[in-house]
Amino acid sequence: MKTALITGVTGQDGAYLSELLLKKGYLVHGIKRRSSSFNTQRINHLYQDLHTDNANFQLHYGDLSDSTNLIRIIQETQPDEIYNLAAMSHVKVSFETPEYTANVDGIGVLRLLEAVRLLKMTDKTKIYQASTSELYGSDQAVPQNEKTPFYPRSPYAVAKLFAYWTIINYREAYGMFASNGILFNHESPLRGETFVTRKITMAVAAIAAGKQQKLFLGNLDAKRDWGHAKDYAEGMWRILQHAKPDDFVLATGITTTVREFARQAFAVLGIAIEFSGEGVNEKGIISAVSNTEFKHLNEGDEVITIDERYFRPTEVDLLIGDASKAHRELGWKPTSTLSEIIAEMTNNDYNLIKRNI
Ligand code: NAP
Ligand code: G4F
């Protein structure tokens, strides 16, 4: 039985990866932060009482800002594979908490690598680092692959750049099996509620259910390469099963604007919207409602308004990935289309809200 340690186990990707590794027969240890309210909603279905014999999913309190804690957990759990998913992962919030973001997303990775080295586990333990397409920043080449230069545009991306190179340096300096997955945006019904996709699908559900009137958004022109988190968890695992440590882009190769994502999400529930106006004056207006349940919604209702507070000091305008290396060397391919993801997320949020009415 292989043993995995997942940092960031309570996040979107942590939940999908835990499910995957448990299905594959791993003993899975996860690091969760202490918080004053429950933060384990995404993994509660996997929880096993500690008193259960041979529980194969075990949680440990920890934090990437605490070296001694990481050393102790790694020593106790003796992982064959570490998946470092923990991060302050919100790009906009990183402008407000830059020092914390650098500490956790950048130095945190160094702490993890040093812990493995100090414990003399470099030959035993493989490490996956959750690197990101945000590293590309300003669109230098289209599409972006493993050879595209980086130009980070946020404290988050700068911290992740430090982490990316630290992984490569430890691989070269100490022969560690340490790999970067450069993942483009991936979404799901488990996506954090303030990322734009989930913010949209939750608002569409609330507007349809008569619980909210408007959705306030920032830059509608931003383009992202959106895939499904479940597919990307499979890719993370494949990266660590590869014959040698290396860096891989995981992406769909298709890019879509935030505006189009929103249009499609409303359409899932039978609400057609059209956009008019420009810049901060752009609005999303209902042009037709085919679902007869939504009698409170009318043609001409304004359901999307721009709020400049959601603009970023420096934006990443266009992300589109070339995952051909992962196709070729790992046999990895995304299986979900964006319209399937939008339908799954919107229907899930609509069902959740209906259940609570
Ligand atoms: P997420 O849902 O925000 O989850 C982040 C996880 O990190 C949560 O479990 C969070 O704990 C934990 N965490 C935050 N600060 C921590 C700290 N100081 N110490 C220990 N744990 C901490 O993010 P995700 O979407 O699953 O993404 C997983 C990783 O992939 C992140 O590193 C992210 O930057 C990276 N990434 C994500 C994407 C994407 O599109 N999703 C793309 C590329 C890279 P709480 O639950 O307590 O907050
Ligand atoms: O959903 P977002 O917040 O994701 P972003 O910034 O692309 O970052 C996500 O993907 C990265 C991979 O490329 C990860 F590394 C990172 O951890 C995270 O998971 O924003 C997407 C786009 C941006 O251009 C943003 O300006 O949507 C635009 N946007 C427009 N209105 C908005 C909003 N973003 C948010 N969060 N909220 C808005 O109201």
In this structure, are residues 75 and 117 in contact, taking their beta carbons and an 8 Å threshold?
Answer: no
Probe target for ligand 2 pocket from 91, 92, 217, with the most ligand atoms within 8 Å of CB: 91
Catalytic annotation on 164? no
Task: Verify whether ligand 2 is closer than 6 Å to residue 12 (CB atom).
Answer: no
Structure tokens given for 103: 């500490």
In this structure, are residues 276 and 187 in contact, taking their beta carbons and an 8 Å threshold?
Answer: no
Q: Which of 10, 77, 125, 132 is catalytic?
A: 132
Q: How far apart are CA 147 and CA 138, in angstroms?
A: 15
Residue with tokens 């004053």, as numbered in its chain? 36
Is pLDDT at 83 greater than 70 in this prediction? yes
DSSP-derived secondary structure for 82-147: EEE--S---HHHHHHSHHHHIIIIIIHHHHHHHHHHHTT-TTT-EEEEEEEGGGT-S--SSSB-TT
Is pLDDT at 141 greater than 70 in this prediction? yes
Task: Verify whether ligand 1 is closer than 6 Å to residue 130 (CB atom).
Answer: yes
> Picking from 69-83, 127-141, 239-253, 311-325, which range would have the lowest pLDDT averaged per residue?
127-141
Is pLDDT at 73 greater than 70 in this prediction? yes
Instruction: Please state, rounded to an integer, the average pLDDT across all residues of the chain.
Output: 97
Whole-number pLDDT of residue 49: 81
Q: How far apart are CA 98 and CA 92, in angstroms?
A: 10
pLDDT digits (tens, 9 = 90+) for 188-205: 999 999 999 999 999 999
Whole-number pLDDT of residue 54: 81
Whole-number pLDDT of residue 52: 79
Which residues, 6 or more positions from 155, have their beta carbon under 8 angstroms from its beta carbon? 94, 95, 97, 98, 101, 102
Question: What number is the average pLDDT over the span 310-331?
Answer: 98
Q: Which helix (H) or strand (E) holds 256?
A: strand 256-257
For residue 150, how far is the Cα from the chain centroid?
19
Atom of ligand 2 nearest to the CA of 133: 13
Whole-number pLDDT of residue 188: 98
DSSP-derived secondary structure for 110-124: HHHHHHHHHTT-TTT
Distance 61 CA to ligand 2 centre (A): 28
Looking at the chain, the whole-number percentage of residues with pLDDT higher than 90 is 96
Question: What number is the average pLDDT over the span 259-271?
Answer: 98
Q: Which of 10, 26, 77, 134 is catalytic?
A: 134
Looking at beta carbons, which pairs linking 96-102 to residues 24 or more positions away fall under 8 Å?
Answer: 97/155, 98/155, 101/155, 101/156, 101/159, 102/155, 102/158, 102/159, 102/162
Q: How far apart are CA 156 and CA 25, in angstroms?
A: 34
Is pLDDT at 118 greater than 90 in this prediction? yes
Probe target for ligand 2 pocket from 89, 158, 185, 341, with the most ligand atoms within 8 Å of CB: 185
Question: What number is the average pLDDT over the span 309-325?
Answer: 97
Task: Verify whether ligand 1 is closer than 6 Å to residue 8 (CB atom).
Answer: yes
Catalytic annotation on 125? no
pLDDT digits (tens, 9 = 90+) for 335-355: 999 999 999 999 999 999 999
Catalytic annotation on 83? no
Q: Which residue's alpha carbon is at the smallest distance from atom 22 of ligand 2? A: 222
Q: How far apart are CA 340 and CA 244, in angstroms?
A: 34
pLDDT digits (tens, 9 = 90+) for 149-169: 999 999 999 999 999 999 999
In this structure, are residues 88 and 101 in contact, taking their beta carbons and an 8 Å threshold?
Answer: yes
Q: Which residue's alpha carbon is at the smallest distance from atom 27 of ligand 1? A: 13
Distance 88 CA to ligand 1 centre (A): 6
Task: Verify whether ligand 2 is closer than 6 Å to residue 218 (CB atom).
Answer: yes
Single pTM value for the model:
0.98
What amino acid occupies position 162?
F
Give, in order, the Cα–Cα distances in Å from 142 to each of 59, 136, 154, 219, 319: 41, 10, 20, 20, 8
Probe target for ligand 1 pocket from 7, 13, 135, with the most ligand atoms within 8 Å of CB: 13
Question: What number is the average pLDDT over the span 267-273?
Answer: 98
Is pLDDT at 253 greater than 70 in this prediction? yes
Task: Verify whether ligand 2 is closer than 6 Å to residue 230 (CB atom).
Answer: no
Q: Which residue's alpha carbon is at the smallest distance from atom 14 of ligand 1? A: 87
Whole-number pLDDT of residue 139: 64
Looking at the chain, the whole-number percentage of residues with pLDDT higher than 70 is 100
Which residues, 6 or more positions from 268, have their beta carbon under 8 angstroms from its beta carbon? 204, 342, 343, 346, 347
pLDDT digits (tens, 9 = 90+) for 278-298: 999 999 999 999 999 999 999
